[in-house]
Amino acid sequence: MNQNLSDNRVFFIINQCSGRNYQQNLEDKLLSRCRQNGLQPTVEFTAHPGHATELAKKAAHNQYPVIFAVGGDGTVNEVANGLIHTPAAMGILPNGSGNGLARHLKIPMNPLKAFDLLHTGTTMSMDGMLINGRYSFNVAGIGFDGYIAEQFGRNGKRGLVGYLMTVMREFPRFREFPLEAMVDGSPLHDRLLIAAVANSSQFGNGATIAPAASICDGKMDICLIHKVSYFRAVHFLTQLFTGKLDRSPSVKIFQATEFNVVLKHPVCYHIDGEPCGATTLFSATLDPGCLNIITPDPSTGKE
């Protein structure tokens, strides 16, 4: 890979609460793999929300060349927020319930195979989206997806089945909200179910919100979704999970670098799947090439 490993230190930030079935011996396996490769590892466990960002900033300050986020999209987001505009490269060892960014990047879902990208992968600069003062690297949105993120976080049932059950239960009662926005300086007025901004293509588990999104094209994909009837919801979900949402007449997707929304009443929003409460202002601005990330080498054609 392109990352300079003359400094053989690696830093692991592990969220043991990610996903549904954390492997208690995962850190032992990672330490063993480091010893086999002549690496000097440091392992830290997250203790509270925001802790991963604190740990990542500390690791970057101490000039660790590689910092691994071990967890789901929330952990990845926190670690990335601590590495903005630093020389450090972030690696993702997926261990969450959705793993949206990792799936978009074709990072292996097996954490040990993902660790091997340290030697077989490449490092690239990826874009970030600044959402209401916090960075998003996957997908952020306001409306029904924000509301579902809040409900999903409350019920404690992780995984795809629990997510879909929450969606189908809450869908009939959620109403479209009026939206006034500026998109790269041009006005937009609409009533929507979801207004999402995508840096990568999917929420997680293959739920593809923006099929053509790229993490390094200098643009956000803006996805505006109108509500469909409950009877068409199954077809809509099928399009979502088959990467064909852009073909739906209820969906409009376009690219921009700034997206600023003003609402008459507070609406729930999320950043990379983590609920952020309700707001009347939703501001998204692209920050190109702000994070170094380890990905599979596209020239190999393998994950």
Please give the single-letter amino acid code of residue 123.
T
Residues 115-152: tens digit of each pLDDT: 999 999 999 999 999 999 999 999 999 999 999 999 87
CB 288 within 8 A of CB 127: yes
What is the number of domains present in the chain? 2
pLDDT at 231: 84
The domain containing residue 35 runs over which residues? Answer: 9-120
Residues 161-207: tens digit of each pLDDT: 888 888 888 999 999 999 999 999 999 999 999 999 999 999 988 89
Tokens of 144: 């029904």
- Of 98, 120, 142, which closes a domain? 120
pLDDT at 108: 97
Residue 165 inside a domain? The answer is yes
pLDDT at 158: 65
- Of 120, 142, 174, which closes a domain? 120
pLDDT at 302: 43
d(CA 266, CA 270): 13
Q: Any idea which of 181-185, 217-221, 240-244, 296-300 has the lowest mean pLDDT?
A: 296-300
* Residues 152 and 90 both lie in one domain: no
